[in-house]
Amino acid sequence: MPRANESTAKVFYKGSSEDFVVFVDGIDILNNWRKDRSIPLSSVVNGFKIFVTHKHGAQGIMDGASKGILETEFGTSNEDECIIKILENGEYQATVTRERQDDTNVANGPVGIAR
């Protein structure tokens, strides 16, 4: 049974010292929020977590952004303010992960071995 072929929406922000990523629910809600700030931020982001990719672009390994990194880049360590700056100035990107096939019941042993 194929798994993991879901779309992922994120906003990528190329900073001066780091690259930042915030996951969002979709382009429609992001564009609506950019036009109308009365929409709650919780309706836009998919978790209040900022990731850094250590200057490896949007596809790099993502680690949580420390308060020091946020302070250096945005002048504040308040994550809500940093998320707003990333959403305002970042680039929206959507990807679909590649499908993969896994064993459905590993208790039966490896697939393809005659018993």
Does the 7-92 domain belong in CATH 3.30.1250.10? yes
pLDDT tens for residues 39-90? 999 999 988 999 999 887 777 788 999 999 999 999 999 999 999 999 999 9
Token pair of 80 as six digits = 């809500």
- Report CA-CA distances (Å) from 8 to 12, 37, 104: 12, 23, 24
103-113 b/e with 16+ CB inside 10 Å = b?
eeeeeeeeeee
Q: What are phi and psi of 39, to 5 degrees?
A: -70, 130
C-alpha–C-alpha distance, residues 42 and 33, integer Å:
11
pLDDT tens for residues 2-45? 555 667 889 999 999 899 999 999 899 999 999 999 999 999 99
